[in-house]
Amino acid sequence: MENSHQPPLRWQCTWHAGPDAGAVHTFGPGSHVLGRAAHATLTADDPALAPHHAVLEVGPDGRGTLTQLAGGPPIRVDGAAMNGGGDGPVELAAGAWLEVGTSLLRLQRGGEPLADGAVHLHCGAVVRSARAVSQWTPQLAVTPDPPGPGDERAGGLLPALAGVAASGVLALVLRQPTFILFGLLGAVVAIASWGAQRIAFARRHRRALAAHQCAVQAARDADARARVAFRAHHEQKVPTVVTALGVAHHRGDRLWARRLDHGDATLAALGLGDVAWPLPDDRATHSQPPVAGMAIAVDLRAGSRLAVRGPQARGVARSLLMQLATSCGPADVRIVIVTAQPTAWASLRDLPHLTLPDESSAVIDETGLATVLAEWEGHRGQLVVVTDDPALLAVRTSPLRRLLADTSAHALIAVLPTDATVPHICTAALTTTDGPTAQWVADTSDTASPQCIRVAALGERSATRTTAALRGLVDPEDPLSMATNMPRALSLVDLHGGALADAEAILHTWATVGRDPAPRALVGMAVDGAVDIDLVRDGPHGLIAGTTGAGKSELLRTLVVGMAANARPEHLTFVLIDYKGGATFDACAALPHVVGVITDLDEHLADRALRSLHAELRRREALLRAHGAADLPALRATDPQVVLPRLVVVIDEFAALVSEQPTFLHALVGVAQRGRSLGVHLLLATQRPQGVISDDVRANTNLRLALRLQDAADALDVAGTADAAHLPRSVPGRAVLRLGADEHVTFQTAHCTQHADGDESPLQLLVGAIVEAARQTDEPAPVGPWQPPLPAMLHPSEVPHGALGLIDDPDQQRIRPLHRDSDEGHLLIAGSAGSGATSTLCTLAAHTLATTSDHVYVLDAHGTNEFDGLAQHPRCGAVIRIRERERVARLLHRLRARSGDPAATSPRIVLVIDGLDTARRALDHPSTMDEYDVLHDLLTTADANAVTIIAAVEHTAAVSAAFIARCADRWVLHLHDPHDGAALGAHAANVPPAQPGRVYLATCGLTAQLVRPGEPLHQQQPITDPLAPPAPRIDTVPPIVIASSLAPGTHHDGTTALSIGVDVTTGRTHVLRVHLGEHVLVVGGARTGRTTALAHLAAQWRRLHPAGWVGALTLRRGGPLDALPPADLHDLCQLPHGRPALLIVDDADRVDDADGRLAALAAGGRVCLFAAGKPDALRLSYGHWTGVVRR
C-alpha cells in the first residue's frame, strides 16, 4: 500500500466488493493494467477477471481513460456497459464506479486518508485512542400537502340571476318594464362582485403554490442532508473491509478503538447494498427510498448465529474476522476457528485474537476446543467461534454444540458449502454465488424477501499480508497475554551460551569438580534464568512424564549428556533402558559413562537387569560396610582410592516396562529405597502416568517434572498442579518442575538433536567431546552392574575344556561355564522346531562320549542325520530312527532289562531321545503297544544310575507329569507358544527368543548359551579310560539265519531246549523248550518255511537224542524231510517205555487218521509230535487228530 497523501495527478483505486475486496492502489500518469495478473497495477484475486482485463491511461494532466481489452467480460462504468473494447477508450470521471468481473471498484482523484492518525505503540503494546461513539438521530423533513383548488363560490351569480328572473316576472305580471331595469342593475352588481372575488382567490392560490414549492424543495434538501449525515454515520458505525485493511496496514488510530460497551463494537460489513431509511416512530407511515451503496452490517454480538454458505463463504468469513480483528482488541474479542482443514485458515492463524497464552494458534479441530476454552477461562470479552464443519453443529453431543447451547453466550459464524442447509440454530444467513451478488437474510425466521447484496470477501493473499501487519501486537488490557522472556524453542547450544564445551573444557570441568561431583545438568530456561537438575539436591530419584511429542526424549538426552559433561566416568555411570525401541539413547550409548543399554527389543534382559541391580546394591552395601562408611559421599571422603561411581538408571517408557514385567515395579521400588545412600539414582519417564505410579513410587521420587500431559489428573499426580495439562501443543519442551509442595517452575527444556545447516547435532558434538576427553584421561572403562550379555554364537574354544556353554548369573554378577554330567539325573529339553533342540541333544551326547565312559543310545523320532556322526563312536550303541520298529523294540526291551537289574550299574546307559512327544505318538498304535508300555515304564521308573534319559520335546503337554517330576534338570529353548514352558517351570517371559543355543535352565532360573552346534566334541581327547568297553550294538536281525550261528540245543532232566532262531526283540538265540511227550505245531502258509523249520527242529532233536526214535510222515517227497526215515506207526506203537520218540508230520492238515493211531499217539504222552500245516485248514478241521496237538 502507498501513502494516502498523493499528488493531485494521482488516482486511487479502491476495491469495495468482490472476492478480494479491501485493496487500495494508487497510481500516477502512465499506462496501468487492470486484471488478475500478479504484475498488474490494479490487481485482485477475482476468478472472473482476465489476467489483462483493461488498460487505464492517466495523462500528464491527470485525466484518465479506460480501455477494455478484447476477450474479457464487459466492464460497466457507472452502470453503462463497455462493449469489449469496441467503443474505444472511455473517459473516467473522478469517483467513477467500475464493475469488473465480480468485483466493484471506485476510481478517485488523489488519495483519501484511510486513518485519521497513527496509533501509539509502546513496546509492541497498542495504546488505544479515545473514541467518540457516533450518534445520529434520524430527522425527517415534513413535506406540506399541496394547496387545494380555489374556492369558487357559485352563490354570487345565482342570486343575481334569480333577481333578474324575478324582476322579469314582476315586469310581466305588473306590466312594469322598470322592474327589469332594477333586476339587471342588481345582476351587474352581483357579477362584478363575483369576478372580483375570483380574481382574489386566484391570486391567493398562486401564492400558496409558490410557498408549497419552496417547502417541498426545503424538505428535499433536508432529506439529502440527512442522507449524507446518515451515510457518514453509517460509515463510522459499520467498518468495512476497506477501512479494516487500511487501519491494519497504516496502524491507524482506529485500531482496536472499539470496546464491548460501545453499541457498535461487533458490527462488520458483509458487502454493499441498500439500507432502509431509518424513520422515526411517528413517521413510520411515510414511504422513503432506501439508501443505496451502503455497507450491509451484521452484528456479531454474543448470541448471534450467522451462516455463510456458497463458493465465497470462506472469503466472507475472512473479511468479517479481519474487520473484528482491527476494530476490537484481544481483550474484547477472541476468535477460535474449529476446522478439519487448518491450512484453509492459515492466513489468519497468526492474528493476535487467535493467539493462545502459549503463543500457539486457536485454529484447532474439535478435540482441542475444550483445551482452548480452558486456556481462555479468564477472558471476559466476546468469543467468536468459526467452524467450516457443519457436522459439528448437527451432533447434539459435540463439544461445539455444547458450547453453543447457551444462546446468549458467544457468537457463531458457520461456513457452509453451497449444498448445505442452514443449521436451525443460525439466526441469519448469507448465501453467496459465483457471481457478484448474494442473498442476505437478516432473520431466518422471515425468509420471504431476502435482500440482494454485493459481497465483500477477502482473498487469502490479502488476509496473509494484513495478518502479518497485526502479528506481534499486544493488547495491554488482555489478561491472558503472557509477558514472558521464556523462549518457544531452546537449543542446547543456546543454553550453554552459544558454544558447547570441547574436550579440553570438559577435562577442565572434570578436574575442578572435586572428589564427589554432583550429578547435575542444565536442562532449560525459565523466565528468571537457567534451570538445572541435581539428583543429589533434588532427588535422589526422579519422575518425568510427558505425552507423545512433548519433548520427553529430548529432555532425557539433555539430562544424560549434561551430567556426563560434569563428571568423569569413574564418578558417574549410566544404565539406559528404553522401551520405545531403543532410539532415544542411540547417540548417548557412545558415552564412556554408559555401562548398559536395554531396549524393548531385549525383553528377556529385563529380569536380568533387575537381578543385576539388586546384586549391585548388595555389592555396594558390602563395600560401604567394609570401609565403615554410611553413604557414598562418606566413602569418597574417607578413602578416595575406592572407585565406586554413582549409578543413574534412566528408564524411558516406564509404563510399557511395567506392563510387560509386572513384578518390575515392586522390585524397582526396592532399588529406590535401598539406593538412596548407595549412590544409585532412578530417573523414570513415561507417557502414561495413570496406573503405573504407585504410592511407593511417588514416595521415593522427590524430583517431579511434567511436560505436556493430556489429563489434568495425570498432571496433578506428577507435578502437584494441573498446569502441565494446559501446556501448548505447539511448544514441545515446555515443562513444569515441582520444587516443593507449593513451588513450581515453568520452563523451556533444551533440545539437542536438531541439526543446523546439515552439521552434526549438539548432542553428537557434545558426546564426541566427552568421548575424546575420556580417551585422553586413559582411565579404564567403568564396570557395569552386570556382565556383557551372552554371545549369540559360542565356539568351543571360547569355553573351558569340558564345558557345554556359558551361564549368565546376574545374582552373582558373573558368567560361569555350564557343566553337566550323566550322574546328575534325567534331563528334559523343550524347544520348538528350529530352536536347536536336536543340536543341543547332539552336543550333550557328544559331550557324554567325550567326558565319560557311559554308553549312549540315540532314539531319533525326527529322522534327521545330525546324530550320524555319533554312530561311529565305540560307546555309542546305536542311532535308531523311530521307523525302525525292530531296533526300537530291541533297544527299549534291552533298556528295561538293564533298568530292572539292580546289579547292572556300570557302565551307565544314556538314552538320548530326540522328539519324545513324536516317539510316543508313533508308538501309540495297537501293533506297538508293547513298545509304548516299555517306553512309559522307562520314563516313569528307570533308575537314573542305570539308565539316564536325555529327551527333547516340542510340546510339553505330550510328556507325563511323572517323568517331568523325575527330571533333575529341565531346559527350555525357544517355544512358539511360550506358555508351554510352564510345565517345566519356566514362565512365558523367561522363554528364550528364537536364537539357536540360547537355553533357560528352569531348575536354577538362569539363562545359558550352548556351544555352537555341530562341533565334533566326541573327537576331543577323552578324560576317561580309553579302554572302556564298547557299547553293545543293536542291529537288525538278518533275513537269513545260519543254523550254525545259533547256540546249540541242550537236553536236561527230560526237557529238550531247541534253538529255533534269533529273537527279534533281544537279538539273541530263541530257545524252544519241549518236555517228553509234548508237541510242537508249526503253522504257516505255503512257502513260509514251515517244512524247513520241522527239519531244523528234527535235526537238533536227533543230535540231542542219538538213541531216540525219529520218523517222518509226509505226503511230499524231495524236501528237507527226506533225510528222515519214514514213520511206521505200527513200530512206533510198539516202542518200549522210556525211549525218546519224535514223530514229524508235515502238511498235518492233509494227513488223515482213519484208524485213530495218530490221535492215540498224540494223546498217549509217550511220543513228541512235531506237526506243520496251514493255519486256516487246521482251524477248520473239526474232529481232526491235530486237535490234540493244538491243545
3-state class of 454 per DSSP? Answer: strand
Of the candidates 836, 840, 801, 841, the one whose C-alpha atom is nearest the C-alpha of residue 819 is 801
Q: Between these two residues, 589 and 132, which has the higher pLDDT value?
A: 589
Residue 1 has pLDDT above 60, yes or no: no
> What are the grid coordinates assigned to 368, written together?
482441542
The mean pLDDT value for 170-199 works out to 77
Query: Which CATH number is correct for 814-984, 3.30.10.20, 3.40.50.261, 3.40.50.300, 3.30.70.2740?
Result: 3.40.50.300
Compute the average pLDDT of residues 1105-1123: 82
What's the pTM value of the predicted model, to 2 decimals?
A: 0.52
Please determine whether the domains at 11-109 and 238-470 fall in the same fold group of CATH.
no
Helix axis angle, 605-627 relative to 664-675, nearest 10°?
20
Q: Which three cell numbers stand for residue 44?
A: 485482485
Q: What pLDDT is attached to residue 782?
A: 82
CB atoms within 10 A of CB 921: 15
State the DSSP string of 130-162.
P-PPP-----PPPPPPPP------GGGHHHHHH
Residue 535 in contact with residue 703, Cβ under 8 Å? yes
CA separation for the pair 776, 510 (Å, rounded): 12
In angstroms, rounded to a whole number, what is the distance separating the alpha carbons of residues 1170 and 1112? 9
166-180, 446-460, 643-657: least confidently modelled range: 166-180
Q: What pLDDT score was predicted for residue 601?
A: 52
DSSP at 781:
P
Choose the weakest-confidence range: 266-270, 392-396, 679-683: 392-396
The pLDDT, as a whole number, for residue 483 is: 39
Beta bridge partners of 361: 355
Q: Is residue 529 within a helix (H) or strand (E), and if so which, with residue range?
A: strand 529-534
Considering the domain delimited by 492-777, tell me its CATH architecture. 3-Layer(aba) Sandwich (3.40)
Would you state the cell numbers that stand for residue 972, as one nine-digit string? 527350555
Closest C-alpha among 1097, 1099, 1101 to residue 1061: 1097
Return the bridge partners of 415, or none.
308
User: For the segment 989-1003, what is each residue's pLDDT rounded down to a tens digit?
Assistant: 788 888 888 899 988
Q: Which of 234-243, 929-938, 1124-1133 shows the lowest mean pLDDT across its residues?
A: 1124-1133
Judge whether residue 123 has pLDDT over 60.
no
Q: How far apart are CA 813 and CA 1014, in angstroms?
A: 30
Nine cell digits for residue 1013:
552346534
The per-residue pLDDT of the chain, averaged, comes to 83
Exposure string for 257-293, b = 16+ CB within 10 A, e = fewer: bbbbebebbbbbbbbbbebebeeeeeeeeeeeeebee
Neighbour count for residue 560 (Cβ, 10 Å) = 27
Count the residues in the chain.
Answer: 1191
- The three cell numbers of residue 430 are 448469507
Say how far apart CA 16 and CA 436 lie, in whole Å: 12
pLDDT at residue 484 tops 60: no
pLDDT digits (tens, 9 = 90+) for 711-728: 888 888 888 888 888 787
CATH value of 238-470 in 3.40.50.300, 3.10.450.40, 2.60.120.620, 2.170.120.12:
3.40.50.300
The Cα–Cα gap between 1164 and 957 comes to 60
* Kind of pairing between the strands at 305-309 and 411-416: parallel
Q: Is the pLDDT of residue 151 over 70?
A: no
pLDDT digits (tens, 9 = 90+) for 316-370: 999 999 999 999 988 889 999 999 899 999 999 989 888 887 677 889 988 888 8
In SS3 terms, 252-272 reads as ECCCCCCCCCCCCCCEEEEEE
Domain 11-109 falls in which CATH fold? Tumour Suppressor Smad4 (2.60.200)
What is the pLDDT, as a whole number, of residue 486?
Answer: 61
Domain boundaries, the chain: 11-109, 154-232, 238-470, 492-777, 814-984, 1043-1190
Share of the chain above pLDDT 90, in %: 17
Element (H, E) at 107: strand 103-109
Facing residues of 1057 across strands? 1050, 1073
| CATH superfamily of domain region 1043-1190 | P-loop containing nucleotide triphosphate hydrolases (3.40.50.300)
Of 25, 27, 8, the closest CA to residue 16 belongs to 25
Residue 480 — very low, low, confident or very high, per pLDDT cuts 50/70/90? Answer: low
Handedness of CA 448, 454, 456, 461 (dihedral sign): positive
Query: CB–CB of 351/333 below 8 Å?
Result: no
Q: Which pLDDT score, from 0 to 100, does residue 287 have?
A: 63
Return the pLDDT at 140: 64
In sequence order, what E strands does 653-797 have?
A: 680-686, 703-707, 734-738, 744-749
3-state secondary structure (DSSP) of residue 437: strand
Question: What are the residues whose beta carbons fall under 8 Å from the beta carbon of 930, sequence distance 6 or more?
Answer: 889
When pLDDT is cut at 50, 70 and 90, the band that residue 191 belongs to is confident
Q: How many angstroms separate the CA atoms of 754 and 757, rounded?
A: 10
